[in-house]
A and B are shown apart, each in its own frame.
Chain A
Amino acid sequence: MTTKAEEKKSRFDPEPMPRRDFLGIAALGSMAAAFGLSILGMLKLPKAAVSASLAKKFNVALPDTLAEGEAFIPPGRNVAVFRDGEGVFAISTVCTHLGCIVKTSVNGFDCPCHGSGFTKDGTVRKGPAPKPLPWLKVSNNGGMITVDEDSKVKSGTKV
């Protein structure tokens, strides 16, 4: 890209970039882009498409002796299932603060880790918890109760 002296317009006009510089910058740029894209690709690896965990939907057989207001904790699950005159409902026992497991008490639920307290319907009573305990979807499944830990429902929804 040589320019003849008489063709030069003004010293304020930008000089054309020499071919070698252009090719060098293009090579560097494409290398940087290749590195950048491969790093972006690698960053996808730590987040699996499916995470290994127990099935979130499970069946429970409530004991006939379960009294009103008494919690039934299905073995191995962080859920409390209740039955009263209006129906059956399930409340998650994972504290909304930092994920400890709350215990049922006379006041409702209490968290052992940072002292959050919830009423019997899961509303925050005291402590740092930012949200009420979620109510989980339950359905009747021929004598069994199906609880779905993945679907939350409005509190007060009983089946």
Chain B
Amino acid sequence: MKAEGYSALHEFWINLRTIPNHVYRAMFRGGAPKTDRTRSSFIFGNVFLHLHSVRTHLWSLRWSTTMGLGIITTAAFLITLITGILLMFYYKPYPEVAYQSMKDIHFIVPTGRFMRNIHRWAANVMVIAVILHMARAFYTAAYRNPREFNWFIGWGLLVTTLGLSFTGYLLPWDQLAYWAITIGANIAQSPREITDAIGITEWFDIGGLQREILLGSDKVGEEALIRFYLLHVMILPLALVMLMAVHFWRIRKDGGLAKPNDADERVADEAKEFYPVFTDAPAKTYHLAAVVKGKTPAVGSGPEHTVPSMPHLFYAELGVLMLTTLICVGLAFISDAPLKELANPLVPENPAKAPWYFLGLQEIVSFSAFMGGIGIPMLCVIGLGLIPFLDREKEGTGEWFGGPGGWKLVKWSLVVGFVSSIAVEAFAIRFGWLREWFPDIPQLFITFINPGTVLTLIYAVFSIWAVRRYNSTRAGALALFTCFLCGFIVLTVIGTYFRGPNWDFYWSPSSWPGH
């Protein structure tokens, strides 16, 4: 239908000329995001941005609340995603060909080596950040009602992140990759240690089944490589993205980040600088109020002490994104990702080391494959997931080291954790373990009594003491989490720096014998 006074052809000409303007207005329906009001409508009208709430509490914007760790993890993931897609242009997942294509990426492809370095460093940053992010959520007691489910999702993200790193480790098909994955796959098989000891492997071989499903064969070969590739570039990233979407969305739905009860008073001075929007706390949530029964966590809290997410929160997020990129690119300039000789199934790398974050596991695996590789890790993983359901106290939510015991208890837990871990390890390194003293000892004794289980027991006893001393489940959680964190650090450092050929103890890699 043509407008009055113009011919249809003339109107077409006008339409053609105003296309840019029109597209712009179609995109920003509420007008350009220039005022608080239009910015708000911009945020909730945008599928990506609406994962944020329109206004953000000043407490959440404080550096000390989150230290930006969640955004660092997300940023590192985005960097691995982009560089990973670029690497897929050249990478070919077939034994030997894979190694040749890695060499091509390293030596021939323009910026190939650089992209691979960034990919590898961003993956490392992501692992560190996701662990620290978890520690932050734990120490600020942010896992409590109503955020239990989001802790659970975060737990899934941690496991998926480690899975992504582990599957990526095989792809270069060099000696490092081949033997790390051989060890990993045999850890999956290690329930045989138990089934063998009680003599039921013939009928119930769960370990062998796990290994076969993982490798698709009885050895690390072409089947294993394509499986790890599929997991690394398709299944796990998809799972990660889905979990991330739920994780972010739940932050909003659970009422923003965890805050102490008196957060409003504590940010009152900062809040004076901002223009208040409206001051009556809504009795219902803004939308769906007529349809949905029950309350969401946002009900009853007004927008006081909040600032518009755009620009305040977005600037903070972009700042962290840039910082993360800078760190990854900087490290990629300084240090090359390793590429050793072509994988040789006949001669193991000596020492054969997994990625650094698994070296703590490798250290306890060197006493018992099953307990170190499956028993204790499963205990940690299940325990971590259940934290919000085991500690349901209210005191200290949103505070660093909040709850009974507080920083003083954490300090003592650090001492107990570090001293006991170092002492047990030092003892085992200096004096050996059961088999050195009693050569004929049955395997079940070694499986159940080894430095890993002894340390777990010490941590558990200390935590039970903490529960009784402070009469609080939170105190027990603080003690246990801190102890396991110390154990993880000590074992990882020993596995990384103090273990050499034949997994013998050396004060430094420079004293390794030539081999």
Would B504 and A130 count as touching, CB distance under 8 A? Answer: no
Q: A53-B221, A98-B187 are in contact. Are A112 and B346 (CB under 8 A)?
A: no
Q: Tell me, rounded to whole Å, the shortest Cβ–Cβ distance linking A76 to chain B.
A: 7
Q: Which residues of the other chain, A, contact B77 by a CB distance below 8 angstroms?
A: none
**Which residues of chain A from 115 to 141 have any CB-CB distance to chain B below 8 Å in the complex?**
115, 124-128, 130-131
Asked if A46 is an interface residue, CB under 8 A from chain B, the answer is yes
Nearest to B444 among chain A residues (CB) is A130
Q: Knowing A51-B212, A99-B185, A100-B179, say if A115 contacts B350 (CB, 8 Å).
A: no
Binary per-residue interface labels of chain B (309-335) against chain A in the complex, 1 for a CB within 8 Å, 0 otherwise = 000000000000000000000000000
Residues of A within 8 A of B190 (CB): 98
Of A97, A98, A124, A127, most buried by chain B (CB within 10 Å of CB) is A98
The reply to whether A131 and B187 contact each other, CB–CB distance below 8 Å, is no
CB-based nearest B residue for A48: B216
Which A residues are in CB contact (< 8 Å) with B447?
A: 130
In the bound complex, residues from chain B placing their C-beta under 8 Å from that of A113 are: 179, 183, 348, 350-352, 502-503
Give chain A interface residues in 29-71, CB to chain B under 8 Å.
46-48, 51-53
Whether A51 pairs with B369 at a CB distance below 8 angstroms is: no
Beta-carbon contact of A98 and B365 below 8 Å: yes
Q: Does B366 sit at the interface, judged by CB under 8 A?
A: yes
Asked whether any CB of chain A lies closer than 8 Å to the CB of B198, the reply is: no
Q: Which residues between 202 and 228 of chain B lie within 8 Å of chain A, taking CB atoms?
A: 209, 212-213, 216-219, 221-223, 227
**B95 → A minimal CB distance (Å):** 12
Whether B502 and A124, one on each chain, are in contact in the complex, defined by CB atoms closer than 8 angstroms, is no
Q: Find chain A residues with CB under 8 A from B346 CB.
A: 76, 78, 101
Q: Is the CB of B212 within 8 A of A47?
A: yes
- The chain B residue sitting closest to A73, CB to CB, is B346
State whether the Cβ of B367 lies closer than 8 Å to any Cβ in chain A.
yes
Contact B218 A53 (CB under 8 A): yes
Contacts of A128 on B, CB cut-off 8 Å?
365-369, 446
- Does the CB pair A112–B196 fall under 8 Å? no
A81 within 8 A of B: no
| B contact face: mostly helix, strand, loop, or mixed | helix
- Given contact pairs A48-B216, A100-B182, A115 touches B223 in the complex (Cβ within 8 A): no
- Asked if A115 and B219 make an inter-chain contact with CB atoms under 8 angstroms apart, the answer reads no
Q: Is A90 an interface residue (CB 8 A)?
A: no
Whether a CB of chain B sits under 8 angstroms from the CB of A152 is: no
Q: How many angstroms from the CA of A115 to the CA of B428 in the assembled complex?
A: 13
- Assembly CA distance A31 to B367 (angstroms): 49
Contact partner, B182, options A51, A98, A124, A125, Cβ 8 Å: A98
In chain A between 76 and 129, which residues have their CB closer than 8 angstroms to a CB of chain B? 76, 78, 97-101, 110-115, 124-128
**Of all chain A residues, which has the CB nearest B373?**
A98
B269 interfacial contact with A, CB 8 Å: no
Q: Determine if B182 and A53 form an interchain contact, defined as CB atoms under 8 angstroms apart.
A: no
Q: Is the CB of A51 within 8 A of B217?
A: yes
Chain B residues 360 to 379 lying within 8 A of chain A, measured CB to CB, are 362, 365-369
Interface presence of B53 (CB below 8 A): no
Complexed CA–CA distance, A107 and B439 (Å):
15
Report B-chain residues with C-beta under 8 Å of the C-beta of A126: 432, 435-436
Nearest-CB distance from A110 to chain B (Å)? 6
State whether A99 touches B182 (Cβ < 8 A): yes
Nearest chain B CB to A13's CB is how many angstroms away? 33
Q: Is A101 in contact with B193, judged by CB distance below 8 angstroms?
A: no
A98 touches B502 (CB 8 A): no
Give the one of A101, A115, A130 with max B CB within 10 A: A130
- How far apart sit A98 and B188, CA to CA, in the bound complex (Å)? 10
Nearest-CB residue, chain B, relative to A110: B502
Complex interface: chain B residues within 8 A of A111 (CB): 502
In the complex, whether B197 has a CB less than 8 A from a CB of chain A is yes
| Docked complex Cα distance between A53 and B368 (Å) | 29
Q: Are B501 and A98 in contact (CB under 8 A)?
A: no
In the assembled complex, which residues on chain A have CB atoms less than 8 Å from the CB atom of B362? 114
Q: With the chains together, A21 CA to B365 CA distance in Å?
A: 55
CA distance A48 to B212 in the complex (A): 9
Contact B183 A99 (CB under 8 A): yes
Minimum Cβ distance to chain B for residue A118 (Å)? 12
Whether A114 contacts B503 by the Cβ 8 Å rule is yes
CB-defined contacts of A97 to chain B, threshold 8 Å: 186, 369
The residue that B351 contacts in the complex, of A51, A112, A125, with Cβ under 8 A, is A112
Question: Is the pair B350, A99 in contact by a Cβ cutoff of 8 Å?
Answer: no
- The answer to whether B196 touches A131 (Cβ under 8 A) is yes
- When the two chains form their complex, are residues A98 and B435 in contact, meaning their CB atoms are under 8 A apart? no
Cβ proximity bits B172-204 to A, threshold 8 Å, 1 near / 0 not = 000000010011011100100100110000000
Q: How many angstroms between the C-alpha atoms of A125 and B438 in the bound complex?
A: 10
Instruction: Return B18 CB to nearest CB of chain A, in Å.
Output: 52
Asked whether B292 is an interface residue with its Cβ less than 8 Å from the other chain, the reply is no
B366 touches A114 (CB 8 A): yes
Across the interface, which residues of A come within 8 angstroms of B221, CB to CB?
A: 52-53
Please name all residues of chain A whose beta carbon is closer than 8 Å to the beta carbon of B64 when the two chains form the complex: none
Task: Give A126 to B436 CA distance when docked, in angstroms.
Answer: 6
A130 near B223 with CB under 8 A, answer no
Whether the pair A98, B369 counts as a contact (CB closer than 8 A) is: yes
A131 pairs with B443, CB closer than 8 A: yes
Minimum Cβ distance to chain A for residue B47 (Å): 29
- Tell me the smallest distance from the CB of B309 to a CB of chain A, in Å: 41
In the complex, what residues of A have CB within 8 A of residue B436's CB? Answer: 126
Given contacts A98-B190, A127-B435, A130-B368, 11 further A-B contacts (CB under 8 A): A48-B216, A52-B217, A52-B222, A98-B183, A98-B369, A100-B183, A100-B348, A112-B351, A112-B352, A128-B368, A130-B446
Pairs across A and B, CB under 8 Å, 7 listed: A98-B187, A100-B179, A110-B502, A112-B501, A113-B352, A126-B432, A128-B367
- The 10 A-B pairs of least Cβ separation, nearest first, read A112-B350, A114-B366, A99-B186, A98-B186, A51-B217, A115-B503, A100-B348, A114-B503, A98-B183, A130-B443
